[in-house]
């Protein structure tokens, strides 16, 4: 069931109507049932995997929580020296670590097998071919459960938090199951933490017209971005990306720009729908974007794009990786043999590359995504190394700071770097990406921009006009957001203005949206993750 389908709209309308008429204490039960109904719309077999994740994480969380309580009680009841307390905690942590590893291996194992088996088999077949071995391994035909990457990361974050004794485990299986399966965020995030969501998911929510209106407005804005902008640009991106021999030179630049804009309109539009749907139900999800295309550096961009994933990776992979035993030993070796300054950087280098390898493989089971991730990591490390030079440059030219034109140059530079890296995603291979980037430099011409060639990539003049107007409106709203909530400010306007504005936006979505059969527009890009 896609977010842009008649089925979802009917499902959501019926859910909201029932949600606010049943007794408040039963609302969480309805949400749980609705979430599993939503999940079952993709088939019953994938439900097995989310049930395994839910039950295993819940049971292991209780186990770890009891161990934490037992350790605290033992230390409290016995008079131990500081050294004895330390040694006792270390012994108990080792036991808890084994229980945590069990949960990590099981659930990341499920994710790995379902998502990456064909990737591994394909690489093994490639090796067999190169060494002239006739054996070829047959690819498997497994269904990838909806949102498996999201609910796996979310549940393992919970388990790690319990291991770290950040909060107590949830004893109620139903409440925990709702946290794992809450349907709006199941599709494409945001990834949330249990302590952020527990009270919201199980609390009684009363009918709040303002809150419902704000949620519906957020959903409408998401549909605008998705159906009017993203689903038009996808035609140009597909035409250029799948026909590299025909669309070279200037078309590569067009594809870069279109893909950069499409992926933002698609993903942020989906997040708007998700956050809006949750708000209608009285639940506040964390924001996942903070105007990322206004970033002046690649590092700033990744702090403002898919923020929940970046926070998860930083907290559960970057920090642990930077202080783990092997990296600590590498750091000591580096300080002894490479110098103090370089040795101190080793944890950051290693942890950054690990994080971005995981980020790449999380986005897709193919080498182009791995290289995409590592390339982002390398760019971030290079930016970090160049920071002292940039600081000296700004000290030498203090007048540039705050200049609008210089800020635009920095933003443009950042978007150009990101757009070049993102061509790895839609060209599908490193060699093809490099070939097409080279053709952009050697075969660049302004002719395609003036001879009507841009009307041969799936968009006619009317489509381009709609896209430009949609992007212009998105830009205006983004600029307006810097001064606070757009919906809050619109709500302060006269009633006639408000109704007219939202009615016009609704009509634009209805009349200009790009629709497929049965109102099933193209799937959200991040659904695959």
Smallest CA-to-CA distance from 259 within 237, 229, 243 is with 237
DSSP output for 337-369: HT-HHHHHHHHHHHHHHHHHHHHHHHH-SSHHH
Element (H, E) at 238: helix 231-242
- Measured CA to CA in angstroms, residue 25 lies from 19, 201, 205 at distances of 11, 11, 9
User: How many whole angstroms separate alpha carbon 171 and alpha carbon 167?
Assistant: 12
**Residue 458 tokens, joined:** 């799936």
Smallest CA-to-CA distance from 440 within 303, 258, 255 is with 255
Q: Would residue 517 show up in a list of annotated catalytic residues for this protein?
A: no
- Identify the active-site residue in 363, 394, 397, 517: 363
User: How many whole angstroms separate alpha carbon 59 and alpha carbon 93?
Assistant: 18
- CA torsion 7-13-17-23 (nearest 10°) is 60
Q: Are 225 and 269 in contact (CB under 8 A)?
A: yes
- In this structure, how many other beta carbons lie within 10 angstroms of the beta carbon of residue 523? 15
Q: Are 425 and 267 in contact (CB under 8 A)?
A: no
Place of tokens 């349907």: 183
- Measured CA to CA in angstroms, residue 67 lies from 170, 247, 436 at distances of 14, 61, 57
User: How many whole angstroms separate alpha carbon 87 and alpha carbon 91?
Assistant: 6
**Residue 347 tokens, joined:** 């944890």
Q: In which region does residue 441 sit, left (phi positive, over 0), alpha (psi from -120 to 50) or beta (all else)?
A: alpha
User: How many whole angstroms separate alpha carbon 272 and alpha carbon 284?
Assistant: 12
Q: Are 304 and 378 in contact (CB under 8 A)?
A: no
Q: Which residues are annotated as catalytic?
A: 363
């Amino acid at each position: 069931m896609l977010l842009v389908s008649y089925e979802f709209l009917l499902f959501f309308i019926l859910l909201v109507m029932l949600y606010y008429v049943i007794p408040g204490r039963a609302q969480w039960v309805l949400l749980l049932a609705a979430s599993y109904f939503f999940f079952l719309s993709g088939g019953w077999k994938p439900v097995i995997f989310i049930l395994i994740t839910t039950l295993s994480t819940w049971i292991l969380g209780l186990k770890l929580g009891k161990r934490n309580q037992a350790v605290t009680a033992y230390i409290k009841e016995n008079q131990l020296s500081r050294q004895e307390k330390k040694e006792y905690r270390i012994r108990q942590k080792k036991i808890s670590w084994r229980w945590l590893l069990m949960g990590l291996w099981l659930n990341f194992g499920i994710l790995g097998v379902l998502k990456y088996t064909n990737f591994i088999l394909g690489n093994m077949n490639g090796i067999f071919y190169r060494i002239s071995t006739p054996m070829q391994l047959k690819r498997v035909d497994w269904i990838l459960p909806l949102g498996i990457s999201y609910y796996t990361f979310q549940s393992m974050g919970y388990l790690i938090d319990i291991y770290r004794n950040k909060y107590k485990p949830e004893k109620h299986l139903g409440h925990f199951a709702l946290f794992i399966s809450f349907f709006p965020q199941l599709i494409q995030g945001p990834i949330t933490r249990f302590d952020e969501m527990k009270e919201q998911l199980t609390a009684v929510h009363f009918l709040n017209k303002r809150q419902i209106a704000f949620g519906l407005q957020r959903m409408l804005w998401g549909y605008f971005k998705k159906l009017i902008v993203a689903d038009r640009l996808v035609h140009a991106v597909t035409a250029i990306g799948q026909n590299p021999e025909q669309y070279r030179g200037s078309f590569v630049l067009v594809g870069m720009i279109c893909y950069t804009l499409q992926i933002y309109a698609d993903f942020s539009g989906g997040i708007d729908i998700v956050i809006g749907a949750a708000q209608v139900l009285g639940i506040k999800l964390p924001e996942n974007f903070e105007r990322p295309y206004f970033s002046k550096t690649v590092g700033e961009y990744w702090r403002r794009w898919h923020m929940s994933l970046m926070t998860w990776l930083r907290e559960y992979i970057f920090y642990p990786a930077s202080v783990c035993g092997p990296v600590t030993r590498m750091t000591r070796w580096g300080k002894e043999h490479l110098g103090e300054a370089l040795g101190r950087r080793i944890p950051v280098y290693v942890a950054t590359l690990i994080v971005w390898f995981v980020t790449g493989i999380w986005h897709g089971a193919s080498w182009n995504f791995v290289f995409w991730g590592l390339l982002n990591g390398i760019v971030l490390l290079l930016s970090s190394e160049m920071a002292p030079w940039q600081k000296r440059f700004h000290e030498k030219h203090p007048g540039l700071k705050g200049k609008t034109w210089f800020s635009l140059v920095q933003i443009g530079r950042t978007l150009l770097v990101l757009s070049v890296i993102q061509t790895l995603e839609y060209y599908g291979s490193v060699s093809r990406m490099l070939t097409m980037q080279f053709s952009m430099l050697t075969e660049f011409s302004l002719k395609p921009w003036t001879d009507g060639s841009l009307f041969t990539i799936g968009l006619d003049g009317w489509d381009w006009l709609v896209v430009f107007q949609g992007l212009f409106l998105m830009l205006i709203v983004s600029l307006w957001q810097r001064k606070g909530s757009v919906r809050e400010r619109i709500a302060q306007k006269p009633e006639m203005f408000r109704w007219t504005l939202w009615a016009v936006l609704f009509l634009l979505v209805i009349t200009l949206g790009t629709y497929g059969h049965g109102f099933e527009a193209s799937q959200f890009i991040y659904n695959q993750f």
